[in-house]
Amino acid sequence: MVLKIFLTNFKKKGEEKYEMYRKLIDCLNFFDRQIEYSQNNFNVFISNLNQYKTNFEESSNMILRKQDEFISAVKRDNIDLNQDDFLKSFAGLIRQWHQNKDWKNLDVFENLLLEPLRELCKSNIVDSRSITLLEYIIKSSRSLEKIKDIKKVYSEYFSDEAKHLGEKKELFLIAVKDFR
């Protein structure tokens, strides 16, 4: 019945009529499949992103907890904090990062804390605290890298999908107009 309505109400003749009908059906099939594909891809994106964010939060929180642990050890041993250059620099980097108005921004975290802290640990590699911190710095950096990568990949993917949806929408509207 639907096919008959489309074919009898169509303004064009012959091959053009069939081609426009085929395009209309192709668009409808694309829209139908696209809903499922988009939902699945978005769910995979969110799942992966959340995994990397969780890894990042855990490792970056450990960096901050290590500062507390190191300060506690120094106080327990009655050592003047100003005498411990490594710990003083470590605390200074955390203070500098946290005083930034965008301290929650991942790029700010990376540029003001992770990278300078990595350099501090490298220059104090004989200090066992550096080795401990480097583990969490590397985990944080890798997770941050993955977060950026996955956002970039899926941003490009979803942008392409939006473009394809727009193209199919235009074809669909042209076909519907011709069937009126």
- pLDDT digits over 76-106, tens only? 999 888 899 999 999 999 999 999 999 999 9
The answer, yes or no, to whether residue 177 has pLDDT greater than 80, is: no
In a domain, 8, yes or no: no
In a domain, 158, yes or no: yes
In a domain, 4, yes or no: no
Residue pair 165/35 in contact by the 8 Å Cβ criterion = no
Per-residue confidence (pLDDT) for residue 59, from 0 to 100:
96
- How many domains does one find in the chain? 1
In a domain, 1, yes or no: no
Give the pTM. 0.76
In a domain, 27, yes or no: yes
In a domain, 67, yes or no: yes
In a domain, 3, yes or no: no
Task: For residue 28, give its domain range.
Answer: 13-179
